[in-house]
Amino acid sequence: MIEENLAELATEAPGTVLPQVLLETDLADGYVPHSGPTGAMFVSFNKRGVSSITLDDDAADFEDRFEIQFGRPVFPVAELPPKLSRGLDKALATKRLGTLQIDWEGMSEFQQAVLRKTAEILPGEVRPYSWIAKEIGNPKAVRAVGTALARNPVPIVVPCHRVVRNDGHLGNYYYGTDVKRAVLEAEGMDVDTLEGLADRGIKLTGSDTTHIFCNPTCRDARRTTKRHTVEFRNESEARRAGYRPCQHCRPAVA
């Protein structure tokens, strides 16, 4: 009798209950729409931090692709947690990762190393894939670096758009070269000049007053006037000319 009475009282739970339970038990992520440097994007998160940033405005498509990629569902929520919201706003304003919490779980140690190093590249500057590989102590892993960047789940805040081909050309980008160019230009980079150097085979520039050579977009290189700028095709050429590497952009990594 008691069971029958209880059964009569049973009712269907509100549709918001399951998503909330999954979010609280860390079996799903939440997400919000957000404006980014190229327009609409979605930002997902969990208890560990921001788990993905997707440049898109189609929520259904985003949800489907998220579940395929991460193996768990994602649900829309009203807002980001305050700490994440502040961190994201600051990261987008300063164009630096800063203290924004990222969910690194699920990434290999190698991918984490690649993305953390990429996050050190300053806005308005770029580095080649080989630079990342050398900086993380694995100079032969240039192709693997490219693969790790192609799978970057948090673009923009971890600026994989600031990594270019070893010959200096922009190279590929998950969202297309036009988007990569637009984001770099929004950060103050003269992409046409960069591409022009690459077309001529110039990978490094130096100052004939300091005799220091840099990556062409290094903040020190940009302060050198055209009159005092010397161009080099490679590190050996720069060293033969008596130049030493910049300590800021580290164009030659031991």
In this structure, which topology does domain 109-197 adopt according to CATH?
Arc Repressor Mutant, subunit A (1.10.10)
What is the DSSP code string of 55-80? --S-HHHHHHHHHHHHSS-EEE-S--
Rounded Cα distance between 154 and 160, Å, is: 9
246 assigned to active site = no
Q: Could you tell me the strand order of the sheet in which 74-76 lies? A: 49-54, 39-46, 29-36, 74-76
Tokens of 127: 């580095």
Fold of 2-94: Double Stranded RNA Binding Domain (3.30.160)
pLDDT class of 252 with cuts at 50, 70, 90: confident
123-148, pLDDT tens digit by residue?
999 999 999 999 999 999 999 999 99
Catalytic: which of 160, 214, 218, 249? 160
pLDDT at 27 over 90: no
Model confidence pLDDT, tens digit, residues 67-125: 999 999 999 999 999 999 999 999 999 999 999 999 999 899 999 999 999 999 999 99
